[in-house]
Amino acid sequence: SQQGEEDPQALSIQEGENATMNCSYKTSINNLQWYRQNSGRGLVHLILIRSNEREKHSGRLRVTLDTSKKSSSLLITASRAADTASYFCATDEGSSNTGKLIFGQGTTLQVKP
């Protein structure tokens, strides 16, 4: 079953603007990951944030995690047309450590040049 909900479902911005996507989940986790998918192709791993971390940066990406609210956000700064893609959050199963991932519904981002 789907653990995560993401909002917005779709986001359209101009190049240079910032894009923020949110993800909520239901159960305890060890870590949360964000992925990008271009046009229904394979998934590209963007960043992993562990349950004991609150914020993480990677280039133009900033991820926050609030375990008390069971939510995470992905911020892409200074967006580019090449950032146009679908973005998914994925969580593990917490204590069971099975390696399984549970994906959110995804946010489709369009960056207009």
Partner 1 sequence: SAVISQKPSRDICQRGTSLTIQCQVDSQVTMMFWYRQQPGQSLTLIATANQGSEATYESGFVIDKFPISRPNLTFSTLTVSNMSPEDSSIYLCSVDSPNEQFFGPGTRLTVL
Q: What are phi and psi of 96, to 5 degrees?
A: -75, -25
Min dist. Cβ of residue 18 to partner 1 (A)? 24
DSSP states along 30-73: SEEEEEEESTT--EEEEEEEETT-SEEEETTEEEEEETTTTEEE
Site string for partner 1, 32-71 (x = CB under 8 A): -x-x----xxxx-x--x-----------------------
- Taking residues 85 to 104 in sequence order and writing x for each that binds partner 1 by CB under 8 A, - otherwise, the string is ---x-x-------xxxxxxx
Q: Does residue number 113 form part of the binding site for partner 1 (CB under 8 A)?
A: no
Kindly state whether residue 109 participates in binding partner 1, applying the rule CB under 8 A: no
Number of shown-chain residues binding partner 1 (CB under 8 A): 21
Contacts with 42 (C-beta within 8 Å, 6 or more apart), sequence order? none
- Determine the Cα–Cα distance for residues 33 and 72; give it in Å rounded to an integer: 10
User: Closest CB to partner 1 among 35 and 74?
Assistant: 35
What is the CB-side half-sphere exposure of residue 61 using CA atoms within 13 A?
A: 18
Residues at the interface with partner 1 (CB under 8 A): 1-2, 33, 35, 40-43, 45, 48, 88, 90, 98-106
